[in-house]
Structure 1
Amino acid sequence: MRGLPIAIPIIVLFGFTVSSCDQRQGADNQTDPNGTELRQDGVATTPDRVLDEPATTTQAAPEEDDTSLEASRNIVDNAAKDKELTTFVSLLHTAKMVSNLNGTGPYTVFAPSEAGFKALPGSTLEDLMKPENRERLQQILNNHIISGKLAVDDLQDGTILKTVAGEQLKVSKRGGQVMINGALIEDADAMSKNGVLHTINKLLLPAEK
């Protein structure tokens, strides 16, 4: 029975050692309420879980405005996109003049609106579209074209313009309105890569010869 008193201190000592190890391990690896494990060296570790990826935003490419689109197209292409110039463009095709206005230019074109063509008397428009009248149609359309690029601010009162048909057009300005041989410019300065387009309210018919 003498060995019993010696064994007891050894057991007590062993229990104290295990307890101390557990306390150190608990101190080294603490867990906050969010489940993040904090190590004694200050480095945080997290349990295995999927982290939310940061939201990504995609910016749409800036759209080109109408002005920049017009400037990148030629005169005929811009005229074709204007419903007020439907008849004018159709006549350019009938007269086989589209390739002319697709050239480098530059050109200034006074294009009659739909109302301008409707104001023609009787069957004038239908007659102009006939194959046998193509030369006459070309002469009329050429009377709406000027060599060079003239914005509305370049058109001074009293200026005489010479058309590619060899005719003369007179500019007049009254109260902020600009007229070409009496035809009012309703929509000005549609800039194109090979010139400028102005919409007028009636046809510029060449003088009868």
Structure 2
Amino acid sequence: MFNQAIIVAGLESDLKGPGPFTIMAPYDEAMKQLTDAPDLTDEATAKDFVNAHVLRGEKLERDDFVDGEEITFEDDVERLVAVSESTIMIDNAEVLDVPAAEQADNGIVHTLNQTLIPPTP
């Protein structure tokens, strides 16, 4: 589902560019569980959604995340990193070990257990 959002957003060729990129892709089940899911068939909405999960200019491996650090995603929102012995959290989303991060020539894709889009009150 996240890949489809990238295509709708028109960001596919951009994210295949020189990078580096770190993409925090929520797994499909997490996207299905959004109660106020954004309309990812709309180009602008899909672009905002994808950009909330993309870091440009950095390729962050699991060991690169620092506890207490705030990282700014493409949507210009700072998100807090929390690292423990076995867990990495970005805000309230856990970076999953399985599937393992996918390496690409221009970056890395980590899988999240939920989206980085906060629920609408």
Q: Same fold, TM exceeding 0.5?
A: yes
Q: Deviations over 1:119-143 (max 9, x none)?
A: 1116x25x331x3xx2122112101
Higher RCO, 1 or 2 (CA under 8 Å, sep at least 6)?
2
Does the 8 A contact of 2:8 with 2:40 survive in 1?
A: no
Q: Give 2:48's match in structure 1, choosing from 135, 139, 148.
A: 139
CA distance 1:161–1:89, shift in 2 (3 Å):
same
Letter in 1 for 2:70: I
Aligned residues: CA RMSD: 1.9
CA, structure 1 residues 194+206, in 2 after alignment: closer, same or farther (shift >3 Å)?
Answer: farther
| TM value normalised by structure 1 | 0.52
Which is greater in Rg?
A: 1
Q: Which amino acid aligns with 1:102?
A: K
Q: How many residues align?
A: 117
Partner of 1:52: none
C-alpha distance after superposition, 1:45-84 (max 9, x if no partner): xxxxxxxxxxxxxxxxxxxxxxxxxxxxxxxxxxxxxxxx
5+ residue gaps, structure 1: 1-86
Find the residue that maps to 1:109 and give its secondary structure.
Answer: strand
Instruction: Note the alpha carbon deviations across 1:92-143, whole angstroms, 9 max, x for none.
Output: 1111110110111000000000111111116x25x331x3xx2122112101
Q: Give the helix-richer structure, 1 or 2.
A: 1
CA distance in 2, matches of 1:175, 1:154: 14
For 1:192, the equivalent position in structure 2 comes to 104
Q: Distance in 2 between matches of 1:118 and 1:98?
A: 22
Of 11, 26, 40, the match for 1:112: 26
Unaligned segments of structure 2, at least 5 residues: none
Moved over 3 A (4+): none
Match of 1:205 in 2: 117
